[in-house]
Amino acid sequence: MMLKKLLMGVIAGAIGVIASPISEHGQLSLKGFDVVDKNGQPYILRGMSFFWDDWGFEKFFTEGSVKTIANDWGGNVVRTPIHDLNESRAKSMIDYAAAAGIYIIVDYHSHCAHKNASGAQTFFGNISSYVKQKNYNHVLYELYNEPLYENCSSASDTYAGGSLTSWNTIKSYAESVIPKIRANDPNGIIIVGTPNYSQGTEAARANPITGQKNIAYTLHFYASTSGHGSLRYNLLRGKCNDFPIIITEWGVSESSGDGNFTKSMNDTWISWIESIGVSWANWSISDKGETSAALTGGASASGGWNDGNLTASGKYVKNLIKNLNAGKGLSGVGLSPANVDCSQLEGGGQHEFVRNGVGSFGYAVQGENYMDSSNVKTVEYEKAQNKSYLASQNSGTESWAEYTLMDIPASGYYVLYASVASNSSGYLHYSVDEGSTVDSVEYSSTGSQTKFTGVLGKIALPVEGSANIRISWKGDLSLDVFTVMPADSSDSVQLDIKPGDKVMQLGSAKTSMLEQFRFDVKNRSFVIPEGYERLSLFSVKGRKVYSVDVQGKANVELDRSVKKGVYMAVLSGAKGRVSLQLKVTE
């Protein structure tokens, strides 16, 4: 009898080892877009991200929590955000995941990690050394949670404002950290954050890290934010171009982590990402009292949570993880596959951030609000729109900045109007979608780099949806703002648009778009051009935080409920829409 019990214990132990994700799938790697296991077969990671390891929520960083996610929820990965590079905490979580037989993403949870590259090098060097010492093969390294602002003063300076961190800066930072990991762990998957809260995967895809293997890129989304829906096309572009993306953070809520939990929008996302086959971790294991938190107040820090300890988010995501990781597929969670055929990309895609309505297209873009750049700097200047402009760092070298135009209603010619200043004459060049169309406009000296004048040109936008535009020049030019808008009949003559050319028309849209839409930081007030009806304010993640009727008003004071931070203001009406980035400082 005793021998029988002993044999049954040995068999049960062996089955437990065999059944764990680590023992069954071993060292993970990348093959094109896909995460693959030790046998080269696609393997999808689905699990949970813990919350920031401060504010008291680090109490959930326990072995019991990890085991609950692995055993009760059926998760095969956890993500551990480490904001202050606490090596002891990271190593403990790595050990807990190893004991539970699941994978772990060690995340430097910073919005400004590029300001602490030396600290990141030390941290990831030591963590990978620990992985080597323990002979582990279950650790993925996330170098940069959500890049935000280029000019933050330190890794903890989240809301510095100014230009979004460029992909060039993020890439350079990552390339300084990767060798520290590779010295100890030559095969572990390394995940690199992307611009604008890790939504800018297209910037990384255009200029990926080379000379390294097993490098993936991050995409974050919040499913109940309508403006994030277009990010699904970033995933499809990745899949169709063998560009590996891992979703290391997504929430059922709006982008603030709170707000609505719209199940239909979440179901759409899950159908999409499961049809594509992308790995993910949901935000978050915490009892913070916000929509995206998985746990209710009072849930044990030691795990073992029952349904009464789970929020609506927790119940929804646990059901997904448990059934999808059990191999039941989308039908097992009551969903159907999405159409993720690559032919969808042939007519042009969509892009993230504030949405403009199709058919009322128009943009006013601050020069300093670029997606990526080279040889440029942001200069503060009281008389410039939004109190700053873009200038060359070295006038003897070409300067360029890239921007994204969204919701283009149709292909055809549009008007580009740029406000520039320069001590000399030259040409402002602009190209669309990596050179599919190229144009330029000549500018004359204004006698000063702070005396701005307008230059007008035509621009061909070849597709509906979205297009990337690169503006470049050589010399001492300063760029304050540029606008892109539909052309009217007078533009057709002035810009030498030939008969038969497809010209988008919207009445007198050009005149209205060129009027100044400004924000006075000191007085917290907007200057409103005539003919617009509504002013809306969006967070950088795309969440609407404020809206007011402005019809017939020349000035509108910003409500005091809007706190300090960086926002996108969108003015809309019959004339179209115009947007500008602004910083609220008090």
Compute how many other C-beta atoms are within 10 angstroms of the C-beta atom of residue 184: 17
76, 127 contact by CB (below 8 A): no
* Annotated catalytic residue, options 58, 142, 146, 368: 146
Phi-psi region of 93 (alpha: psi -120 to 50; beta: other; left: phi over 0): alpha
367, 428 contact by CB (below 8 A): no
Q: For residues 69 and 74, give the distance between their C-alpha atoms in angstroms, rounded to a whole number.
A: 6
Bridge partners of residue 366, in order along the sequence: 481
Give the sign of the dihedral formed by CA 30, CA 146, CA 168, CA 373.
positive
DSSP letters, 120-149, are HHHHHHHHHHHHHHHT---EEEE--S---B
Instruction: Tell me the three state secondary structure of residue 309.
Output: helix
Output phi, psi for 77, to 5 deg. Answer: -155, 145
Q: For residues 63 and 212, give the distance between their C-alpha atoms in angstroms, rounded to a whole number.
A: 33
Compute how many other C-beta atoms are within 10 angstroms of the C-beta atom of residue 72: 15
488, 506 contact by CB (below 8 A): yes
Cα–Cα separations (whole angstroms), residue 112 to 120, 128, 352:
11, 22, 21
**N-term to C-term CA, the chain:** 76
The DSSP call for residue 333 is G
Bridge partners of residue 80, in order along the sequence: 106
* Annotated catalytic residue, options 249, 254, 274, 402: 249
Phi-psi region of 257 (alpha: psi -120 to 50; beta: other; left: phi over 0): left
Mark whether 249 is an active-site residue: yes
Bridge partners of residue 573, in order along the sequence: 576
Q: For residues 255 and 265, give the distance between their C-alpha atoms in angstroms, rounded to a whole number.
A: 13
Compute how many other C-beta atoms are within 10 angstroms of the C-beta atom of residue 537: 21
Neighbouring C-alpha atoms within 13 Å toward the C-beta of 190? 27
Q: Which amino acid is at 560?
A: R
| Burial bucket for residue 490 (CB in 10 Å: 0-12, 13-18, 19+) | exposed
Give the sign of the dihedral formed by CA 243, CA 244, CA 249, CA 253.
positive
Q: Which amino acid is at 344?
A: Q
Pairing mode, strands 565-573 and 534-539: antiparallel
Mark whether 533 is an active-site residue: no
- If we measure between CA atoms, which residue out of 425, 573, 419 comes closest to residue 507? 573
Compute how many other C-beta atoms are within 10 angstroms of the C-beta atom of residue 139: 24
List active site positions.
Answer: 146, 249
